[in-house]
Structure 1
Amino acid sequence: MKKTINTLLILLLAGTSPLSVAGEENIPEPFRGDDPNSTLEVAYDDLNALLSSYVTVSGWSTREKAPRPDAGVGTRLKTRINRLTAQEGNRFYFKGASEKDLIAEFISDIRASLEMLPAEVPLRLLNKNEQLAYWLNLYNFTLLDEMMKVYPKHNLLRVLDYGDDDSIMAQKLLNVAGVPLSLDDIQFTILKEKYFGNPLIIYGLWQGNIGGPSLRSTAYTGKTVWRKLEDNAGEFINSNRGTYFDGEVSALYERNMPFFDNDQAKLISHLMDYLQGDMFDEYANRDDVEFEMEDWTLAALIGEGRKYGRSAATNGAAMLDAVVATQPGEAFGDTVAIQNYLAEDNIMKTPVNFRFSEAQLEILQKLRTKHEVSMGRVEVTDLDEEEATEDKKQNN
């Protein structure tokens, strides 16, 4: 009678060394290392289906102030806006997304799928650009999922609440490869350490508010991640959200000073690399800055905020709705595309198969086996006693 051995661990006395993880001692072990020669590419078609349908791209800022909001008919109350920043930055169509359970479900499924991926595919099998794209996408969709729960609240000051242990940024919202993670963990431990504090990283981390970097209309990918971060940096720095007269810069930089070695001179040098026009001259001879530029308003389409009165919106800022209202949502056929993703049920059940081509899956299987060997153990399941004995003889 055969006895089933559920799990046999074969300890290897010799084998290839694990990939180098020098300088990553503070990063949780499952996220250390990379393969610079890896050609594996993670697919984000589901993210693109959502983002292309619900993100409105505003383009670079003209630095013009938004018109003053008018009170609606039958009221003297006005909607409060920051006129310097109200027309800047990309916007997410929260109203349209919140009205469809399908979309909220889709966002949550994407988040969960991304969260599960490193448990199936060790991140060290990917190159650093692919890893960076993964972390940025996970961070942004986690926050987007949380913002969907916050909506229709529009003031995010107490939601983000930087530095507070109860902040949405500090809470352990994720469990990735068995490691509880907060958004702050991703930003200030994993990304800062792995990418040597490169300040471009901060422009890929959406904060949910108008005053932060823009949420892009496409997902980050390994091939284009640095190009997109450069674009986000240029757009943000050359907007009132990022820089203004008299050395006033975004409060975002105060939070991210560790990326500049807590040195204002390095921050100013970084800003000078991207500033254009008159603002370049404004900062050319500055020795310090003030972290004064803030807008904690949810980065929703203009006009989604609280309205007073019963008349149709007539002020200039609200009239922008007429321009963008036909862009997101059903105009792009998002419902059909997203229904197809959910109907296939691939996102949650088989995140690996969903995010890699057949050819890459074959390569990935070989790499995973090699990875297990290099880590000093191979797991073999459901061997009967005779097979296990024979296997042991072959390994002696």
Structure 2
Amino acid sequence: MSSLRLFQAACALGALCTTFAAAPALAENGSGQAADVSLVAASADFTTGQERDLADPLAVFAPKGDPIRHRIDYEIWDYALKQTTLSMGPPNRKIARRTFPTLGSYILKGPQSQYRLEGSLVLFSFLEEEVIESFTLYREDLEKVAATLDIAALPRNEQLAFWFNLHNVAVMEQLAKAWPVREPRALEVDGVPLDQAKFITLRGTPVSLRDIRENIVFRHWKDPKVIYGFWRGEIGGPELQRNAFTGANVGPLLDVAALDYVNSLRATQKRGERLAVADYYEEVAPFYFPDFESDLRAHLARYAEEDVKEILAQTSGAEPAIRDHEIADLAGGTRPASYLNVGSLAGAMDDPLLMGSIRADLAMFQLLEDRRRKLQVMIANDEPVYRVFFPDLLEPGDDPDKHAVE
């Protein structure tokens, strides 16, 4: 049973303290039954000479034709996300109010980003050591899945979900281990910047977070909406979704992520007669926006809601001038100085604070109060405070790649 190792860890969420077990993701066939991974491995010739091009070791992960009907279960990661991640609600395109130091102090606590009421924030300050260790174990379990199951032979959406989940749990792991930290990009792993550190191992090949994004996903997927599936741990980037990606939900969930990001202040703003965009778009431009201004504006128009549509109509160009690299953390990457018990109102939103409370400092209390006010105003204005998506379903006999993200 070593491959199905179970362990329990306290989530350390105050009155909501729960336990969850981390185990390897399980490959399943289309009928929902556990697949015989050893047979899958045997069906693919995993000899060293055939599976690995030494000049391009990641070529083995190029998607193959005629996919096998298997899926990977991410129920445990999905549960962990819901226990550790707080959605701030859809963007309302309003800057968060200024923060102030506590009485008798000059030190600013909590998130300082003017965009902190957008996206999602992780409850890093409440994660106990056992929970942090669980992220490492889960990441290692996903590595074992890649070593045993031919990921490239899965349906394309199954592959995409695997790469998103592996990348994001690896980011969560490293930030949780290093916390408190103000900016993820300032973090180093064994002396190497987090994004370039090759702390992930795939079939014996050391791989970095950037490798997963650029040398696997961006290399083999044409649709630019895939850029919204990768969480970088920063407020200024695409948010960490509270749902694990799966083969069934990856397409619709990416659309939700794109909709939220494109219509947020951290992604698009009008500055004079020019369009200002997040610097994240400049980073991914070589893969999806080679003619930066025209390609990006066409992409933004695909997801723009009314306010952003007006901005696109009133501006020209696209300047990657919006930069916010602060950690997406409820505590802002700092240790709380004092505590209060706070929680969400019943029915406010589906979040880790629902019907419970946590010990939060004054800065967290202010942020949670600002969040509550934002959502109440949106509700009063008949604005949606959550996004709804429906998984893509396959009927018996359907092509496994029927709903594949290109």
The TM-score range, normalised by the shorter chain, is 0.5 to 0.7
1:301 to 330, 341, 344: 330
Q: Is the 8 A contact 2:110 2:330 kept in 1?
A: no
Post-superposition shift, 1:32? Answer: 2.4
Structure number with the bigger relative contact order (C-alpha 8 A, sep ≥ 6) is 1
Where 2:70 maps in the other structure, the secondary structure is coil
Instruction: Quote how far apart the aligned CAs of 1:261 are.
Output: 3.9
Count of residues in correspondence between the two structures:
296
Partner letter of residue 124 of structure 2?
A: F
Unaligned runs of 5+ in 2: 1-44, 46-50, 341-359, 373-406
Residue 318 of structure 1 and its aligned partner are, at CA, apart by 4.1
Distance 2:278 2:188 in 1: 15
Higher mean alpha-carbon deviation, 173-182 vs 219-228, is at 173-182
Larger % of helix: which? 1
What residue number does 1:275 align with? 304
| Distance in 1 between residues matched to 2:371 and 2:143, nearest whole Å | 32
**SS of equivalent residue, structure 2 residue 132:** helix
Identity across the alignment (%): 26
Q: 2:257 aligns with which of 207, 232, 240?
A: 232
Q: After the TM superposition, which parts of structure 1 deviate over 4 Å for at least 4 consecutive aligned residues? A: 79-83, 306-315, 322-325
| CA deviations over 1:301-326 (Å, ceiling 9, x no partner) | 156636679999667x742336989x
1:191 aligns with 2:217: yes
Which entry has the higher C-alpha Rg, 1 or 2?
1
1:154 aligned to 2:185?
A: no
Question: When the two structures are superposed, what TM-score results if normalisation uses the length of structure 1?
Answer: 0.68
What residue is the counterpart of 1:289 in the other structure? 318
Q: Which residue of 2 aligns with 1:223?
A: 248
Structure 1, unmatched stretches of 5+, are 1-14, 16-20, 326-396
3-state SS, counterpart of residue 320 of structure 1: helix
Matched, 1:168 2:189: no
Q: From 50, 71, 93, give the equivalent of 2:123.
A: 93
TM superposition shift of 1:293: 1.2
Equivalent residue number for residue 121 of structure 1: 149
SS at match of 1:240: coil
Could you report, residue by residue, the CA deviation over 1:258-298 in whole angstroms, capped at 9, with x for unpaired residues?
23242221011101111112321211364421112122111
Pair 1:84-2:114 in alignment: yes
Contact 2:123 2:331 in 1 (8 A): no
What are the superposed Cα offsets for residues 122-150 of structure 1, whole Å, 9 maximum, x if unpaired? 11331111000000100111111111122
Secondary structure (helix, strand or coil) at the match of 2:268 reads coil
**What does 1:1-396 align with in structure 2 at a 5 Å threshold?**
28-79=58-109, 82=112, 84-97=114-127, 100-159=128-187, 166-196=192-222, 198-246=223-271, 247-264=275-292, 265-284=294-313, 286-302=315-331, 305=334, 318-321=365-368
What is the RMSD computed on CA atoms of the aligned residues?
Answer: 3.0
Q: Any conservation in 2 of the 1:130–1:222 contact (CA below 8 Å)?
A: yes
Q: Which residue of 2 aligns with 1:384?
A: none
